[in-house]
Structure 1
Amino acid sequence: MPEPVIQKSELKKACKNCGAELKYKPGTTSIICEYCGHEDHINLDTDPIKELPLRVYLESQGSQANSEEISILHCKNCGANQHVEENYKSLHCVYCGTPLIREDAKTEQWILPGAVLPFQLTQQEAIIRFKKWVKGLWWAPNDLQKATLDPQSTKGLYLPYWTFDAQLYGQYSGQRGDYYYETQSYRDSNGRRQTRRVRKTRWIPVSGNVQGFVDDTLINASKQHTGKVPRGIALWDLKKLQPFESGFLAGFVTEKYTIPLKDGHLESQDEMREIAKTWARRDIGGDEQRVSHLNMQLEEETFKHILLPVYISAYRYKNKEYSFFVNGENGSISGKRPYSFWKIFLTILAGLFVFGLVYLFSK
């Protein structure tokens, strides 16, 4: 009987000196042992990040061509699907904190990530960003800085995304608007005749062609969970992407995509259509533009599955829990926060008082 094949992402990363867990050190190309300090280097692939031919993968046989099996833990409370390395100690859902049972893990197929943007911030740096964020909150209660934050609940998560590339060709028709001005006469409130310049728009029909390369259209690949991540932090520098290497995942949780490739492709077409309209408006010129018809064609379409970093955590204030998110690459932060009723009430009261004084003096 042949020996079972151990998939790359399931390999246990143990320290060769003491056998303890090795974890990826953010901002480096190393995985380290927190017990004895041993450090292993992640060997980066020097080849360019691979773009996969889209049409081949949309067919059933092509979809398995660059895939592997991984173990998935399904949260029964919120439904999140998370891949956790074999030796990852904290078995709690990164979204809702529900305990996960390793024996419930199921083996599933996924398209192997083509690239990963490694964490650039450590967990401690994410917590520092949180404390700085709390200090800068307007309308927050004065004692919010005493909020309880459990460092163990601050988890690093790799979010799944699709990116799509294509050569775009578009034919458009519409209208170009050019401003011109006319002088009009009118009477003011005292009955005196006055003149003023009025802006008007002259519209002329136009048509034309646009074309160009659309690079890395980013599509969220997990609809019910990553949708909770605020848009304000969902901006990463994709130039920092590295060819996929499972060492970057050591010590972190990876969420499996729940939006299939074909659905992600449909969404990317909507994004590319908006790009084509922008190109068309730029081509039309003038002061205003109207695009009434656009025929778009995409060729040489490629895609890749990528993983992007974020820290997810929660803090407690007066026995209520609030969640927040930190971008694992650039440190931007967003989240839920409490508001001070008295601060808002007194500010409104002060505004009404000033308004009342202005009104009395104007009389």
Structure 2
Amino acid sequence: MQETLVQSSELKKSCINCGAGLRYAPGTTELTCEYCGYKQEIVPLESGFEELELKPYLNEMGAQSHSEEITMLQCKNCGANQHIEENYKSLHCVYCTMPLIIEDAHKEDWILPGAVLPFQIDQKKAHQLFKKWVQGLWFAPNNLKKAAIDPQYTKGLYAPYWTFDAQLYANYTGQRGEYYYVSKTVGSGKNRRTVRERRTRWYPASGHVSGFVDDTLIKASKQRSGVIPEKIARWDLKALQPFDSSFLAGFVTKKYTIPLKEGHLESNKEARNIADSWARRDIGGDTQSISTIDMKLTEETFKHILLPVYISAYKYKGKRYNFFINGQTGALSGKRPYSFWKIFFLVLFIFIVIGIILVLSQS
């Protein structure tokens, strides 16, 4: 399944003064015009978040009531599908920076997002963070640092995720371990000594745990064209806003490629881990062993949410490198190339210095 980046046609919001495209201003609740300075307030929706009942969607019922048609473009270079609205300054792939061909646009349906986490830092700040990081890299190729000067390759992307809520009930059986210590003599002769050895007494345990599992976060894209690193994939979901397409204006939006059913299976694995953790806490003692867990989830709901990331793409010796910045926190991570010649000359310099020291010591 190919990656898909999408942006709804309704995002083409125009300035009432000059007709230019409006863009969401990160860290605010406003749309702004880059040409005349006009600002338009984004009015928050009174309805709040919309948690969708999971079962009808898994049974492929009711999906049309929360779907819309969106337009996508496919990158001929890396294969990623994406849509960049008309007022975006350049039609280039967010992952590999290659030009996109508008004639290749096609339409698909998607489940509408229920919430969005708006960007809190703007593209200028994101590029400054990326540039500072690049300049601090040891043994980076000189042309990498030159490439970091051009901000057009640092672009904002809303990445899709699923969140799942449920009431969790679980019965468990297992054992509670309690540590105790015994003295033991080891060695012989002069090496003979007494040591304390830890041992464990096990007691049978069983019980019941229950609670509400809130916002289990599951990625909704396979991300083959640039995987968002775990290091930056941490957002404060308390800052989520009810979905309003105004927050997406001026940014690229990625469509989910992991189906809801597959995301639900992943969330069940996370729920089982949570049940295991709750059971161990309930058992107590110094250590625990879980034999069985009979878990049940009820009142399951889900949301399709969009989370903010900046991406910079750079090509070095035919290989593409992606750098990611969390659009909420500014956390940065990415793979980087190394300069063979810089490392070679450093090693050569070290050997020369060692040689000089040896010659001087002998004389």
Question: TM-score higher than 0.5 here?
Answer: yes
Offset from partner CA, 1:226-259 (integer Å, 9 cap, x none):
7611111111111111111111111100011111
Judged with a 3 Å threshold, the aligned counterparts in structure 2 of structure 1 residues 194 and 269 are, in CA distance, closer, same or farther, namely same
TM-score by length of 1: 0.87
Judged with a 3 Å threshold, the aligned counterparts in structure 2 of structure 1 residues 214 and 347 are, in CA distance, closer, same or farther, namely farther
Offset from partner CA, 1:254-298 (integer Å, 9 cap, x none):
011111111111111111111111111111111111112111100
Q: Name the CA distance, whole Å, in 2 between partners of 1:261 and 1:292.
A: 31
Q: Name the CA distance, whole Å, in 2 between partners of 1:262 and 1:221.
A: 11
Offset from partner CA, 1:129-178 (integer Å, 9 cap, x none):
11222344456569965554421111110001110000000111112111
Please list, as runs of the form range in 1=range in 2, the aligned pairs for 1:232-271 lying within 5 A after superposition. Answer: 232-271=231-270
The question of whether the paired residues in 1 share the 8 Å contact of 2:134 and 2:148 is answered with: no
Work out the number of aligned pairs and report it.
346
The question of whether the paired residues in 1 share the 8 Å contact of 2:31 and 2:39 is answered with: yes
Cα drift, residue 79 of structure 1 = 2.9
Corresponding residue number in structure 1 for 2:150: 150
Offset from partner CA, 1:321-352 (integer Å, 9 cap, x none):
532111111000001123355659968998xx
| Counterpart check, 1:88 vs 2:93 | no
Describe the SS at the equivalent of 1:268: helix
The question of whether the paired residues in 2 share the 8 Å contact of 1:147 and 1:317 is answered with: no
Corresponding residue number in structure 1 for 2:290: 291
Describe the SS at the equivalent of 1:231: coil
Q: Which amino acid aligns with 2:26?
A: P
Q: Which amino acid aligns with 2:253?
A: T
Runs (5+) with no aligned partner, structure 1: 1-6, 355-363
Judged with a 3 Å threshold, the aligned counterparts in structure 2 of structure 1 residues 288 and 337 are, in CA distance, closer, same or farther, namely same
Corresponding residue number in structure 2 for 1:178: 178
Higher alpha-carbon deviation: 305-314 or 341-350: 341-350
Offset from partner CA, 1:184-236 (integer Å, 9 cap, x none):
11235x53532111111112221111110000001111114476111111111
Corresponding residue number in structure 2 for 1:99: 99
Corresponding residue number in structure 2 for 1:338: 337
Q: Name the CA distance, whole Å, in 2 between partners of 1:348 and 1:195.
A: 53
Higher alpha-carbon deviation: 256-265 or 314-323: 314-323
The question of whether the paired residues in 2 share the 8 Å contact of 1:9 and 1:246 is answered with: no
Corresponding residue number in structure 2 for 1:20: 20
The question of whether the paired residues in 1 share the 8 Å contact of 2:162 and 2:220 is answered with: yes
Judged with a 3 Å threshold, the aligned counterparts in structure 2 of structure 1 residues 57 and 318 are, in CA distance, closer, same or farther, namely closer
TM-score by length of 2: 0.87
The question of whether the paired residues in 2 share the 8 Å contact of 1:24 and 1:31 is answered with: yes
Q: Name the CA distance, whole Å, in 1 between partners of 2:285 and 2:148.
A: 56
Corresponding residue number in structure 1 for 2:306: 307
Runs (5+) with no aligned partner, structure 2: 1-6, 355-363
Q: Name the CA distance, whole Å, in 2 between partners of 1:126 and 1:155.
A: 9
Q: Name the CA distance, whole Å, in 2 between partners of 1:66 and 1:220.
A: 20
The question of whether the paired residues in 1 share the 8 Å contact of 2:11 and 2:249 is answered with: no
Q: Which amino acid aligns with 1:156?
A: G
The percent of aligned pairs where both chains have the same amino acid is: 65
Q: Which amino acid aligns with 1:175?
A: Q
Q: Which amino acid aligns with 1:282?
A: R
Please list, as runs of the form range in 1=range in 2, the aligned pairs for 1:187-266 lying within 5 A after superposition. Answer: 187=187, 191-225=190-224, 228-266=227-265
Aligned alpha-carbon RMSD (Å) = 2.8
Q: Name the CA distance, whole Å, in 2 between partners of 1:223 and 1:294.
A: 30
Judged with a 3 Å threshold, the aligned counterparts in structure 2 of structure 1 residues 316 and 200 are, in CA distance, closer, same or farther, namely same
Corresponding residue number in structure 2 for 1:272: 271
